[in-house]
Amino acid sequence: MPNANRHTDSRLNIEENVPLAPFTTLRIGGPARFLIGARTLRELQEALRFAQQVHLPFCILGGGSNLLVSDEGFPGVAIRLLMNRVTRSGGMVQVQSGFDLTALVHRTVAWGLSGLESLAGIPGTVGGAVRGNAGAYGGSIGDAVATVSVVDTATLKTVTLRRDECTFGYRASRFKGDTRLIVVGTLLALTPGDPEEIGAKVAQTLAKREAKQLSCDQSAGSFFMNPIVDDAELISQFEEDQGGRCRECRIPAGWLIDRAGLRDLRVGGAAVSHRHANYLVNTGSATAADMVQLARLVRKEVQVKLGVVLKEEVSPLGVVI
Ligand SMILES: Cc1cc2nc3c(=O)[nH]c(=O)nc-3n(C[C@H](O)[C@H](O)[C@H](O)COP(=O)(O)OP(=O)(O)OC[C@H]3O[C@@H](n4cnc5c(N)ncnc54)[C@H](O)[C@@H]3O)c2cc1C
Protein backbone atom coordinates (compact mmCIF):
# COMPACT_ATOMS: atom_id res chain seq x y z
CA MET A 1 0.00 0.00 0.00
CA PRO A 2 1.44 3.43 -0.86
CA ASN A 3 1.97 5.63 2.14
CA ALA A 4 0.60 9.12 1.52
CA ASN A 5 2.93 11.05 3.81
CA ARG A 6 6.14 9.43 2.60
CA HIS A 7 5.64 10.85 -0.89
CA THR A 8 5.11 14.53 -0.26
CA ASP A 9 6.52 17.09 2.12
CA SER A 10 3.97 19.72 1.12
CA ARG A 11 0.85 20.75 2.97
CA LEU A 12 -1.34 18.79 0.59
CA ASN A 13 -4.30 17.37 2.41
CA ILE A 14 -4.28 13.73 1.31
CA GLU A 15 -7.16 11.64 2.60
CA GLU A 16 -7.38 7.90 2.19
CA ASN A 17 -10.31 5.64 1.28
CA VAL A 18 -12.86 8.41 0.97
CA PRO A 19 -16.33 7.58 -0.40
CA LEU A 20 -16.97 9.58 -3.57
CA ALA A 21 -20.79 9.44 -3.49
CA PRO A 22 -21.11 12.68 -1.44
CA PHE A 23 -19.05 14.51 -4.09
CA THR A 24 -21.53 13.67 -6.84
CA THR A 25 -25.07 14.92 -7.43
CA LEU A 26 -26.17 11.32 -8.11
CA ARG A 27 -24.89 10.38 -4.63
CA ILE A 28 -23.47 7.15 -6.01
CA GLY A 29 -19.95 5.72 -5.91
CA GLY A 30 -17.46 3.81 -3.78
CA PRO A 31 -14.25 5.15 -2.21
CA ALA A 32 -11.22 6.74 -3.82
CA ARG A 33 -7.94 5.23 -2.65
CA PHE A 34 -6.74 8.82 -2.14
CA LEU A 35 -8.59 12.12 -2.29
CA ILE A 36 -6.82 15.47 -2.59
CA GLY A 37 -8.46 18.91 -2.74
CA ALA A 38 -6.28 21.19 -4.90
CA ARG A 39 -6.71 24.82 -3.77
CA THR A 40 -4.00 26.23 -6.03
CA LEU A 41 -2.36 25.40 -9.32
CA ARG A 42 0.74 24.38 -7.40
CA GLU A 43 -1.30 21.96 -5.27
CA LEU A 44 -2.76 20.45 -8.44
CA GLN A 45 0.74 19.91 -9.81
CA GLU A 46 1.83 18.36 -6.50
CA ALA A 47 -1.21 16.10 -6.46
CA LEU A 48 -0.36 14.90 -9.98
CA ARG A 49 3.24 14.33 -8.94
CA PHE A 50 2.01 12.34 -5.95
CA ALA A 51 -0.07 10.12 -8.26
CA GLN A 52 3.04 9.52 -10.40
CA GLN A 53 5.13 8.66 -7.34
CA VAL A 54 2.65 6.11 -6.01
CA HIS A 55 2.12 4.71 -9.55
CA LEU A 56 -1.61 5.19 -9.45
CA PRO A 57 -4.00 6.70 -11.97
CA PHE A 58 -5.64 10.04 -11.19
CA CYS A 59 -9.05 11.46 -11.93
CA ILE A 60 -10.47 14.97 -11.73
CA LEU A 61 -13.59 15.96 -9.82
CA GLY A 62 -15.30 19.29 -10.37
CA GLY A 63 -18.76 19.71 -8.88
CA GLY A 64 -19.62 16.04 -9.55
CA SER A 65 -22.81 17.03 -11.38
CA ASN A 66 -22.05 14.98 -14.48
CA LEU A 67 -20.40 11.96 -12.92
CA LEU A 68 -21.39 8.32 -12.48
CA VAL A 69 -18.82 6.65 -10.22
CA SER A 70 -18.56 2.88 -9.93
CA ASP A 71 -19.66 1.07 -6.77
CA GLU A 72 -16.06 -0.10 -6.35
CA GLY A 73 -14.90 3.52 -6.35
CA PHE A 74 -11.62 4.69 -7.87
CA PRO A 75 -8.38 2.80 -7.15
CA GLY A 76 -6.20 5.87 -7.60
CA VAL A 77 -5.87 9.54 -6.72
CA ALA A 78 -9.05 11.59 -7.06
CA ILE A 79 -8.25 15.31 -7.29
CA ARG A 80 -10.95 17.87 -6.52
CA LEU A 81 -10.33 21.21 -8.19
CA LEU A 82 -10.98 23.90 -5.60
CA MET A 83 -9.08 26.82 -7.19
CA ASN A 84 -11.65 29.57 -7.38
CA ARG A 85 -10.20 33.00 -8.05
CA VAL A 86 -12.04 35.32 -10.41
CA THR A 87 -10.89 38.71 -11.69
CA ARG A 88 -12.30 41.15 -14.19
CA SER A 89 -10.81 43.71 -16.50
CA GLY A 90 -13.39 45.51 -18.63
CA GLY A 91 -15.37 42.83 -20.45
CA MET A 92 -12.73 40.14 -19.86
CA VAL A 93 -13.22 37.76 -16.94
CA GLN A 94 -10.44 35.42 -15.85
CA VAL A 95 -11.79 32.59 -13.72
CA GLN A 96 -10.24 29.49 -12.21
CA SER A 97 -11.72 26.06 -12.75
CA GLY A 98 -13.15 25.39 -9.32
CA PHE A 99 -15.44 28.45 -9.38
CA ASP A 100 -19.13 27.56 -9.28
CA LEU A 101 -20.72 28.24 -12.68
CA THR A 102 -24.00 29.67 -11.41
CA ALA A 103 -22.15 31.86 -8.89
CA LEU A 104 -20.11 33.16 -11.84
CA VAL A 105 -23.29 33.98 -13.77
CA HIS A 106 -24.55 36.01 -10.79
CA ARG A 107 -21.17 37.72 -10.47
CA THR A 108 -21.31 38.81 -14.12
CA VAL A 109 -24.79 40.25 -13.56
CA ALA A 110 -23.40 42.38 -10.73
CA TRP A 111 -20.59 43.49 -13.04
CA GLY A 112 -23.03 44.33 -15.84
CA LEU A 113 -21.51 41.81 -18.24
CA SER A 114 -23.62 39.90 -20.73
CA GLY A 115 -22.89 36.50 -22.33
CA LEU A 116 -23.54 33.84 -19.69
CA GLU A 117 -27.25 34.40 -19.03
CA SER A 118 -28.42 31.11 -20.60
CA LEU A 119 -26.07 29.13 -18.32
CA ALA A 120 -27.74 30.18 -15.07
CA GLY A 121 -28.76 27.21 -12.96
CA ILE A 122 -26.38 24.68 -14.54
CA PRO A 123 -24.69 23.01 -11.57
CA GLY A 124 -20.96 22.33 -11.32
CA THR A 125 -17.72 24.19 -11.79
CA VAL A 126 -16.44 26.42 -14.55
CA GLY A 127 -13.77 23.81 -15.41
CA GLY A 128 -16.32 21.03 -15.74
CA ALA A 129 -18.48 23.31 -17.90
CA VAL A 130 -15.59 24.17 -20.24
CA ARG A 131 -14.59 20.51 -20.52
CA GLY A 132 -18.14 19.45 -21.53
CA ASN A 133 -19.06 22.76 -23.23
CA ALA A 134 -22.10 22.96 -20.95
CA GLY A 135 -25.03 24.91 -22.21
CA ALA A 136 -28.76 25.43 -22.38
CA TYR A 137 -31.33 27.29 -24.47
CA GLY A 138 -29.06 27.54 -27.49
CA GLY A 139 -26.01 28.97 -25.67
CA SER A 140 -22.88 27.18 -24.44
CA ILE A 141 -19.94 28.34 -22.36
CA GLY A 142 -17.62 27.85 -25.34
CA ASP A 143 -19.38 30.78 -27.06
CA ALA A 144 -17.91 33.14 -24.46
CA VAL A 145 -14.44 31.61 -24.18
CA ALA A 146 -11.42 33.61 -25.37
CA THR A 147 -8.73 31.25 -24.04
CA VAL A 148 -8.50 28.16 -21.86
CA SER A 149 -5.54 27.36 -19.60
CA VAL A 150 -4.74 23.72 -19.06
CA VAL A 151 -2.19 21.68 -17.20
CA ASP A 152 -0.67 19.09 -19.48
CA THR A 153 -0.36 16.08 -17.19
CA ALA A 154 2.50 14.66 -19.26
CA THR A 155 4.74 17.66 -18.47
CA LEU A 156 2.88 19.29 -15.54
CA LYS A 157 3.26 22.57 -17.43
CA THR A 158 0.49 25.10 -18.01
CA VAL A 159 -0.48 25.86 -21.60
CA THR A 160 -2.96 28.48 -22.80
CA LEU A 161 -5.09 27.64 -25.82
CA ARG A 162 -7.08 30.01 -28.00
CA ARG A 163 -10.77 29.30 -28.42
CA ASP A 164 -10.26 28.02 -31.99
CA GLU A 165 -7.86 25.41 -30.58
CA CYS A 166 -10.47 24.09 -28.13
CA THR A 167 -12.76 22.42 -30.74
CA PHE A 168 -15.97 23.24 -28.92
CA GLY A 169 -19.06 21.48 -30.21
CA TYR A 170 -22.36 20.23 -28.85
CA ARG A 171 -21.38 19.05 -25.31
CA ALA A 172 -17.90 18.51 -26.69
CA SER A 173 -14.44 20.01 -26.52
CA ARG A 174 -10.84 19.07 -27.08
CA PHE A 175 -10.52 18.48 -23.30
CA LYS A 176 -13.27 15.88 -23.27
CA GLY A 177 -11.39 13.85 -25.83
CA ASP A 178 -7.93 14.38 -24.33
CA THR A 179 -7.92 13.53 -20.62
CA ARG A 180 -4.22 14.45 -20.49
CA LEU A 181 -5.35 18.08 -20.34
CA ILE A 182 -6.82 19.47 -17.12
CA VAL A 183 -8.66 22.76 -17.46
CA VAL A 184 -7.34 25.10 -14.78
CA GLY A 185 -8.87 28.38 -15.89
CA THR A 186 -10.51 30.30 -18.67
CA LEU A 187 -10.63 33.83 -19.97
CA LEU A 188 -14.15 34.83 -20.96
CA ALA A 189 -14.93 37.68 -23.33
CA LEU A 190 -18.22 39.25 -22.23
CA THR A 191 -20.14 42.29 -23.38
CA PRO A 192 -20.78 45.24 -21.08
CA GLY A 193 -24.49 45.99 -20.69
CA ASP A 194 -27.21 47.08 -18.31
CA PRO A 195 -27.08 44.99 -15.09
CA GLU A 196 -30.87 45.15 -14.76
CA GLU A 197 -31.47 43.78 -18.25
CA ILE A 198 -28.82 41.09 -17.80
CA GLY A 199 -30.30 40.18 -14.41
CA ALA A 200 -33.77 39.93 -15.97
CA LYS A 201 -32.46 37.48 -18.60
CA VAL A 202 -30.84 35.37 -15.88
CA ALA A 203 -34.12 35.39 -13.92
CA GLN A 204 -35.94 34.26 -17.10
CA THR A 205 -33.49 31.38 -17.57
CA LEU A 206 -33.91 30.30 -13.95
CA ALA A 207 -37.71 30.55 -14.24
CA LYS A 208 -37.68 28.38 -17.41
CA ARG A 209 -35.55 25.79 -15.63
CA GLU A 210 -37.81 25.91 -12.59
CA ALA A 211 -40.92 25.42 -14.77
CA LYS A 212 -39.33 22.35 -16.35
CA GLN A 213 -38.15 21.21 -12.89
CA LEU A 214 -34.60 20.94 -14.14
CA SER A 215 -33.14 21.09 -10.64
CA CYS A 216 -34.24 17.55 -9.91
CA ASP A 217 -32.29 16.03 -6.99
CA GLN A 218 -29.94 13.07 -7.19
CA SER A 219 -29.47 13.05 -10.93
CA ALA A 220 -26.63 14.01 -13.24
CA GLY A 221 -28.91 16.22 -15.33
CA SER A 222 -29.50 14.93 -18.85
CA PHE A 223 -28.14 11.40 -18.91
CA PHE A 224 -28.04 11.12 -22.71
CA MET A 225 -27.11 13.66 -25.38
CA ASN A 226 -29.78 14.85 -27.77
CA PRO A 227 -29.14 12.76 -30.89
CA ILE A 228 -29.18 13.89 -34.50
CA VAL A 229 -32.07 12.04 -36.10
CA ASP A 230 -32.41 11.38 -39.82
CA ASP A 231 -35.86 9.77 -39.71
CA ALA A 232 -38.09 12.45 -41.31
CA GLU A 233 -41.25 10.81 -39.94
CA LEU A 234 -39.92 10.92 -36.35
CA ILE A 235 -38.82 14.53 -36.78
CA SER A 236 -42.23 15.58 -38.01
CA GLN A 237 -43.91 13.68 -35.13
CA PHE A 238 -41.66 15.58 -32.73
CA GLU A 239 -42.35 18.94 -34.35
CA GLU A 240 -46.09 18.32 -34.38
CA ASP A 241 -46.05 17.20 -30.75
CA GLN A 242 -43.94 20.17 -29.58
CA GLY A 243 -45.38 22.77 -31.93
CA GLY A 244 -41.90 23.91 -33.04
CA ARG A 245 -38.90 23.06 -35.22
CA CYS A 246 -36.08 20.85 -34.00
CA ARG A 247 -32.59 22.42 -33.89
CA GLU A 248 -30.01 20.95 -36.32
CA CYS A 249 -32.15 17.76 -36.51
CA ARG A 250 -31.40 17.10 -32.82
CA ILE A 251 -34.35 15.67 -30.99
CA PRO A 252 -34.34 15.85 -27.18
CA ALA A 253 -33.42 12.47 -25.75
CA GLY A 254 -36.12 12.99 -23.11
CA TRP A 255 -38.81 13.18 -25.78
CA LEU A 256 -37.53 9.94 -27.38
CA ILE A 257 -37.38 8.13 -24.02
CA ASP A 258 -40.92 9.25 -23.26
CA ARG A 259 -42.08 8.25 -26.74
CA ALA A 260 -40.61 4.78 -26.16
CA GLY A 261 -42.85 4.54 -23.08
CA LEU A 262 -40.00 4.44 -20.58
CA ARG A 263 -40.99 7.21 -18.18
CA ASP A 264 -40.88 5.85 -14.59
CA LEU A 265 -39.00 2.71 -15.67
CA ARG A 266 -36.99 1.38 -12.70
CA VAL A 267 -34.03 -0.87 -12.03
CA GLY A 268 -33.40 -1.30 -8.31
CA GLY A 269 -33.09 2.20 -6.85
CA ALA A 270 -32.54 3.88 -10.23
CA ALA A 271 -35.46 5.31 -12.18
CA VAL A 272 -36.31 7.32 -15.28
CA SER A 273 -37.62 10.55 -13.77
CA HIS A 274 -41.34 11.12 -14.13
CA ARG A 275 -40.78 14.87 -14.52
CA HIS A 276 -37.98 14.77 -17.08
CA ALA A 277 -37.46 11.49 -18.96
CA ASN A 278 -33.78 12.20 -19.74
CA TYR A 279 -32.99 12.45 -16.03
CA LEU A 280 -32.09 9.06 -14.56
CA VAL A 281 -32.46 9.55 -10.82
CA ASN A 282 -31.24 7.85 -7.69
CA THR A 283 -34.45 7.33 -5.73
CA GLY A 284 -32.41 6.80 -2.58
CA SER A 285 -30.74 3.42 -2.70
CA ALA A 286 -29.45 3.20 -6.29
CA THR A 287 -26.09 1.63 -6.98
CA ALA A 288 -23.95 2.41 -10.00
CA ALA A 289 -24.83 -1.08 -11.24
CA ASP A 290 -28.56 -0.18 -11.11
CA MET A 291 -27.88 3.04 -13.05
CA VAL A 292 -25.84 1.25 -15.70
CA GLN A 293 -28.48 -1.45 -16.13
CA LEU A 294 -31.23 1.16 -16.40
CA ALA A 295 -29.23 3.25 -18.90
CA ARG A 296 -28.55 0.20 -21.06
CA LEU A 297 -32.22 -0.80 -20.96
CA VAL A 298 -33.29 2.72 -21.98
CA ARG A 299 -30.76 2.79 -24.81
CA LYS A 300 -31.86 -0.64 -26.07
CA GLU A 301 -35.59 0.16 -25.95
CA VAL A 302 -35.13 3.51 -27.73
CA GLN A 303 -33.08 1.80 -30.43
CA VAL A 304 -35.54 -1.06 -30.89
CA LYS A 305 -38.70 1.07 -30.80
CA LEU A 306 -37.49 4.23 -32.56
CA GLY A 307 -34.31 3.23 -34.37
CA VAL A 308 -32.26 5.93 -32.61
CA VAL A 309 -29.00 5.25 -30.78
CA LEU A 310 -28.50 7.29 -27.61
CA LYS A 311 -25.03 8.25 -26.41
CA GLU A 312 -24.46 9.12 -22.79
CA GLU A 313 -23.77 12.70 -21.75
CA VAL A 314 -22.87 11.66 -18.21
CA SER A 315 -19.16 10.96 -17.53
CA PRO A 316 -18.57 7.42 -16.32
CA LEU A 317 -15.78 6.77 -13.81
CA GLY A 318 -14.95 3.07 -13.59
CA VAL A 319 -18.20 1.98 -15.24
CA VAL A 320 -19.08 1.17 -18.83
CA ILE A 321 -22.52 2.34 -19.86
C1 LIG B 1 -29.85 19.05 -12.09
C2 LIG B 1 -28.82 19.14 -13.18
C3 LIG B 1 -29.07 19.92 -14.30
C4 LIG B 1 -28.11 20.02 -15.32
N5 LIG B 1 -28.37 20.80 -16.40
C6 LIG B 1 -27.44 20.93 -17.38
C7 LIG B 1 -27.68 21.79 -18.50
O8 LIG B 1 -28.70 22.46 -18.61
N9 LIG B 1 -26.71 21.85 -19.46
C10 LIG B 1 -25.55 21.15 -19.37
O11 LIG B 1 -24.69 21.27 -20.26
N12 LIG B 1 -25.30 20.33 -18.32
C13 LIG B 1 -26.21 20.21 -17.33
N14 LIG B 1 -25.98 19.37 -16.27
C15 LIG B 1 -24.76 18.56 -16.23
C16 LIG B 1 -23.60 19.22 -15.46
O17 LIG B 1 -24.08 20.24 -14.62
C18 LIG B 1 -22.57 19.81 -16.42
O19 LIG B 1 -22.07 18.80 -17.25
C20 LIG B 1 -21.42 20.48 -15.65
O21 LIG B 1 -20.75 21.36 -16.51
C22 LIG B 1 -20.42 19.49 -15.06
O23 LIG B 1 -19.48 20.23 -14.28
P24 LIG B 1 -18.85 19.60 -12.97
O25 LIG B 1 -17.87 20.56 -12.42
O26 LIG B 1 -19.90 19.16 -12.02
O27 LIG B 1 -18.09 18.34 -13.57
P28 LIG B 1 -17.91 16.87 -12.90
O29 LIG B 1 -19.24 16.20 -12.86
O30 LIG B 1 -17.18 17.02 -11.63
O31 LIG B 1 -16.99 16.18 -13.96
C32 LIG B 1 -17.51 15.76 -15.21
C33 LIG B 1 -16.35 15.26 -16.07
O34 LIG B 1 -15.49 16.35 -16.38
C35 LIG B 1 -14.17 16.09 -15.90
N36 LIG B 1 -13.69 17.38 -15.39
C37 LIG B 1 -14.26 18.16 -14.43
N38 LIG B 1 -13.57 19.29 -14.27
C39 LIG B 1 -12.53 19.22 -15.14
C40 LIG B 1 -11.45 20.09 -15.44
N41 LIG B 1 -11.29 21.26 -14.82
N42 LIG B 1 -10.57 19.71 -16.39
C43 LIG B 1 -10.71 18.53 -17.05
N44 LIG B 1 -11.71 17.65 -16.80
C45 LIG B 1 -12.61 18.00 -15.86
C46 LIG B 1 -14.30 15.03 -14.83
O47 LIG B 1 -13.13 14.29 -14.71
C48 LIG B 1 -15.47 14.22 -15.38
O49 LIG B 1 -15.00 13.32 -16.35
C50 LIG B 1 -26.90 19.29 -15.23
C51 LIG B 1 -26.66 18.50 -14.09
C52 LIG B 1 -27.60 18.42 -13.08
C53 LIG B 1 -27.32 17.58 -11.86
Known catalytic residues? 171, 222, 313
CATH number of 216-317: 3.90.78.10
Atom of ligand 1 nearest to the CA of 129: 21
Residue 175 CB–ligand 1 contact under 6 Å: yes
Averaged confidence pLDDT in the chain: 95
Q: Are 157 and 120 in contact (CB under 8 A)?
A: no
Q: Give the model's pLDDT for residue 212.
A: 83
Residue ranges of E strands in 39-180: 58-61, 67-69, 74-81, 86-89, 92-96, 113-114, 135-136, 139-140, 145-152, 157-162
- 36-45, 197-206, 213-222: segment of lowest average pLDDT: 213-222
Average pLDDT over residues 172-177: 95
CA of 124 to the centre of ligand 1 (A): 5
Residue 10: band (very low, low, confident or very high) from pLDDT cuts 50, 70, 90:
low
Q: Quick one: which of 140, 144, 134 has its CA closest to 114? A: 144
**Architecture per CATH, 86-206:** 2-Layer Sandwich (3.30)
CA of 208 to the centre of ligand 1 (A): 20
Average pLDDT over residues 199-209: 96
pLDDT > 60? residue 191? yes
Atom of ligand 1 nearest to the CA of 97: 41
pLDDT > 60? residue 39? yes
DSSP 286-314: --HHHHHHHHHHHHHHHHHHH-----B-S
Q: Give the model's pLDDT for residue 249.
A: 85
pLDDT tens by residue, 230-240: 999 999 999 99
Q: Give CA–CA dist 196/13, Å, rounded.
A: 42
Q: Give the model's pLDDT for residue 274.
A: 92
Residue 235 CB–ligand 1 contact under 6 Å: no
CA of 134 to the centre of ligand 1 (A): 7
CATH number of 5-81: 3.30.43.10
Helix (H) or strand (E) holding 188: strand 181-189
Sequence-separated (6 or more) residues with CB below 8 Å from residue 311? 224, 225, 227
Atom of ligand 1 nearest to the CA of 171: 11
Q: Give the model's pLDDT for residue 3.
A: 54
Q: Are 321 and 312 in contact (CB under 8 A)?
A: yes
Residue 185 CB–ligand 1 contact under 6 Å: no
- Fold: same for 5-81 and 86-206: no
pLDDT tens by residue, 283-301: 999 999 999 999 999 999 9
Q: Are 125 and 100 in contact (CB under 8 A)?
A: yes
pLDDT tens by residue, 143-160: 999 999 999 999 999 999
CA of 19 to the centre of ligand 1 (A): 19
Domain ranges of the chain: 5-81, 86-206, 216-317
Q: pLDDT above 70 covers what percent of the chain?
A: 97
Q: Whose CA is nearest to atom 3 of ligand 1?
A: 221
Q: Give the model's pLDDT for residue 5.
A: 52
Q: Give CA–CA dist 221/212, Å, rounded.
A: 12
Residue 123 CB–ligand 1 contact under 6 Å: yes
Q: Give the model's pLDDT for residue 6.
A: 54
pLDDT tens by residue, 82-124: 999 999 999 999 999 999 999 999 999 999 999 999 999 999 9
